[in-house]
Structure 1
Amino acid sequence: MVLYGTLVNGVCIIAGSLLGLFFTKIPERYKETVMHGIGLAVLLIGLQMAFTTEIIVVVLLSLLTGAIIGEFIHVEEGLNRLGAWIGSKFTTKNENFSVAQGFVTASLIFVIGAMSVIGALDSGIRGDHEILITKGIIDGFVALVLTTTLGFGVVFSVVPVILYQGSIALLATQITKWLPESFLNGFIVELTGVGGLLIVAIGLNLLKITKIRIGNLLPSLATVIIIYYLYQLI
């Protein structure tokens, strides 16, 4: 089953989020320190991914073009509106921001990353779900901790995770007919570099060092394939 790994990942996120709801009443200072710990761990993960890039100009141009597109179509604003809309269905008006923040932050952490792409590609091309199952276990623990600090909005991140990874897995069943394996391997390396920098940005925001509009940088995950293709042609 092509979507098996993706579905397991989604179940782990839901389970982690539900368990996290039992720990939301812990003192604020504990939540703050835990969030700092998460931010530092996210920074480390992002840096490890970013350093895998072999063609820095591809990463740079992908981020630049992605930023322009993201700002033009207001991706960040759209994500916040979606989170607020979801929150309005389950909370009072005053709690909407918290739900939106949990939804957006968790979605970005779970969706952006090498494991999402590589795991989904393995599911679709080879029928190997090990990477996504491993990612699901990690995401479950992260969801638990995030829920204790950001609230139950985290659980809704399962929707973009399943849509994103599921789409890649389904596409991967046909992708080898269009792209040679050598191109695919090189593209994944540069995609990992771009995704790593976005994860670094998430970590900086969690630590409240910056207020980077990460949502508006998300199109760079799409433009990287065009930039990498053009680079290979040149």
Structure 2
Amino acid sequence: MVLLGAIVNGIAIIAGTLLGKLLERIPESMKNTVMQAIGLALMLLGVQMGLKSGNFLIVILSLVIGAVAGEWINIEDKFTRAGNWLERRVGAGGRGSISLGFVTASLVFVVGAMAILGALDSGIKGNHEILYAKSIMDGFIAMILTSTLGIGVMFSAIPVVLYQGAIALLATQITRFVPDALLNDCIAEMTATGGVMIIGIGLNLLGITKIKVANLLPGILVAVLLVVLVHNFQVN
């Protein structure tokens, strides 16, 4: 089943959220320290991902063009509105904002190499091991995020399943049209571009700044287009 890995990932996020609800009563100072630790860890992960790039100019252009497109579409606002809609429907249900938890967790779980690579592996090879491993990690992260950001984290399972499921379904046909070398270059630049976004999420969690990371998301698609353009230019 092509979508199995994505579905398991969504279930793991929901399970982690429910477990995280049990940790809401921990002291506020401990929550702040845990959140700072997550922010620092995400920044390190982002740096590691960013270094995967074979052509950092592609990453820069992807982020700039992606930021223009994201601001024009105003993706961050749409994410926030979706979170606010959930908050009105479900209610705050405890500590934390449903909107903030939904937006932050969605970005953390969607922007990353494992989401892309795992979904591609599910579609191309029918191998869900990467997404299973990601599911375990996301479950723990969801548990920790829920203890500080609230139940909104659970709803991030929806975009995660849709995003990874769409990539997996697309990947079932991708090998017919895309050479392995080009596919590997696309993954490298998508990973590096996503890594910079992960750093932004880390900075937001640390409270250092407020970067509209969601508005940078088109940069991942732009990275693919730029890699294809460079590849075709080199071939011709």
- Shorter-normalised TM-score: what interval? over 0.9
1:88 aligns with 2:93: no
1:31 aligns with 2:44: no
Taking structure 1 as the reference length, the TM-score comes to 0.97
Taking structure 2 as the reference length, the TM-score comes to 0.96
Partner in structure 2 of residue 208 of structure 1 = 207
Deviant stretches of 4+, over 6 Å: 94-97
**What amino acid sits opposite 1:148 in the alignment?**
S
Contact 1:13 1:140 (8 Å CA) reproduced: yes
| Residue ranges of structure 1 left out of the alignment (5+ in a row) | none
Distance 2:130 2:176 in 1: 23
1:147 aligns with 2:169: no
Contact 1:88 1:96 (8 Å CA) reproduced: no
**What amino acid sits opposite 2:101 in the alignment?**
G
Partner in structure 2 of residue 50 of structure 1 = 50
Change (3 A) 1:97 1:213: farther
C-alpha distance after superposition, 1:26-74 (max 9, x if no partner): 1111110010011011111111100111101111111011000011111
Contact 1:58 1:190 (8 Å CA) reproduced: yes
Contact 2:96 2:149 (8 Å CA) reproduced: no
C-alpha distance after superposition, 1:75-97 (max 9, x if no partner): 111110011001110115x9898
Contact 1:24 1:149 (8 Å CA) reproduced: yes
Partner in structure 1 of residue 111 of structure 2 = 112
Contact 1:43 1:203 (8 Å CA) reproduced: yes
Distance 2:95 2:21 in 1: 17
1:199 aligns with 2:198: yes
Q: Which SS does the other structure have where 1:205 is aligned?
A: helix
**What amino acid sits opposite 1:136 in the alignment?**
S
**What amino acid sits opposite 1:231 in the alignment?**
V
Partner in structure 2 of residue 13 of structure 1 = 13
Q: Which SS does the other structure have where 2:26 is aligned?
A: coil
C-alpha distance after superposition, 1:105-143 (max 9, x if no partner): 000000000100000000000011100000000000000
Q: 1:233, CA displacement in angstroms?
A: 2.5
Partner in structure 2 of residue 60 of structure 1 = 60
Contact 1:87 1:96 (8 Å CA) reproduced: no
**What amino acid sits opposite 2:80 in the alignment?**
N
**What amino acid sits opposite 2:187 in the alignment?**
I
Change (3 A) 1:214 1:95: farther
Distance 1:187 1:30 in 2: 40
**What amino acid sits opposite 2:36 in the alignment?**
H
Distance 2:16 2:96 in 1: 21
Partner in structure 2 of residue 170 of structure 1 = 169
Report the aligned-residue RMSD.
1.4
Distance 1:96 1:21 in 2: 9
Partner in structure 1 of residue 98 of structure 2 = 99
Distance 1:35 1:211 in 2: 15
Distance 1:86 1:148 in 2: 19
Distance 1:97 1:128 in 2: 37
**What amino acid sits opposite 1:15 in the alignment?**
A
Contact 2:17 2:142 (8 Å CA) reproduced: yes
| Residue ranges of structure 2 left out of the alignment (5+ in a row) | none
Change (3 A) 1:16 1:96: closer
Change (3 A) 1:88 1:96: farther
Contact 1:84 1:97 (8 Å CA) reproduced: no
Q: Between Structure 1 and Structure 2, how many residues are aligned?
A: 233
**What amino acid sits opposite 2:111 in the alignment?**
I
Q: Which SS does the other structure have where 2:97 is aligned?
A: helix
Distance 2:96 2:178 in 1: 42
Q: 1:3, CA displacement in angstroms?
A: 1.0
